A and B are shown apart, each in its own frame.
Chain A
Amino acid sequence: AAGVIQSPRHLIKEKRETATLKCYPIPRHDTVYWYQQGPGQDPQFLISFYEKMQSDKGSIPDRFSAQQFSDYHSELNMSSLELGDSALYFCASSWGHGDNEQFFGPGTRLTVL
């Protein structure tokens, strides 16, 4: 079965640079979620989108922004990168809004030097 696709899988950036992470949800899923998992930490919710509108927001820094496009894929834009942004970034998708299960992608490992 098709799964959530994230690209790139690995990304290395310098401090103060920008990064764009992409997420392609499972076909027919219209809701996407972004999570950040720092080294040795548990995943933390960042933001979600349903039908191209922001749905919920967590502890996402102001330097980060995200959007969902008409084909339901989503992009997480990160500017003025800091060392502390080094983490795994997971995207998840679900069908519809509410209590449907979220299916996670393999993640993007971002390293900021």
Chain B
Amino acid sequence: DAKTTQPTSMDCAEGRAANLPCNHSTISGNEYVYWYRQIHSQGPQYIIHGLKNNETNEMASLIITEDRKSSTLILPHATLRDTAVYYCIVRVGDKLIFGTGTRLQVFP
């Protein structure tokens, strides 16, 4: 079973920041939080991951609360091509356990 809960869908205007929340209240101390996205039926695309510190890369920023029970993925300047299903995942061993994800729609 997925260890994360996310909103089913969100909208974002092009050029604005998209903030995608995720709850993972049962996460264990050594389990990482991963974010992937899937555009249509393509292979899931890795975005970012972290353990307890905030992380940033060329795609996004990941903000993890101090108690590690929730996190937020931030796409700083959303484009139309960012429209996708975004999965917040707690990795258990080798398994990426996908939940239902958030369908992000970026509109002009």
Q: Which residues of A contact B (CB under 8 A)?
A: 4, 31, 33, 35, 37, 42-45, 48, 50, 55-56, 58, 88, 90, 92, 97, 99, 101-107, 109
Contact = CB atoms under 8 A, between A and B. Distances in A.
B93 interface: yes
A33 to B, nearest CB: 6
17 contacts: A33-B96, A37-B41, A42-B100, A43-B44, A43-B96, A44-B98, A48-B95, A56-B94, A92-B43, A92-B44, A99-B32, A101-B46, A102-B46, A104-B36, A104-B43, A106-B43, A107-B42
Contacts of A43: 38, 44, 96, 98
B93 A107 contact: no
Interface in B13-60: 32, 34, 36, 38, 41-46, 49, 51
Contacts of A35: 96
B98 A42 contact: yes
Given A42-B100, A99-B49, A90 B94 contact: no
Contacts of A102: 46, 96
Contacts, number: 56
Which of A42, A99, A103 has the most CB atoms of chain B within a 10 A radius of its CB?
Answer: A42
B86 to A, nearest CB: 12
A103 B46 contact: yes
Contacts of A105: 43
B41 A107 contact: yes
A29 B87 CA distance: 24
Contact of B91 (A4, A42, A99): A99
B95 A42 contact: no
Given A42-B87, A99-B49, A101-B49, A55 B94 contact: yes
A43 B93 CA distance: 16
Nearest to B43: A104
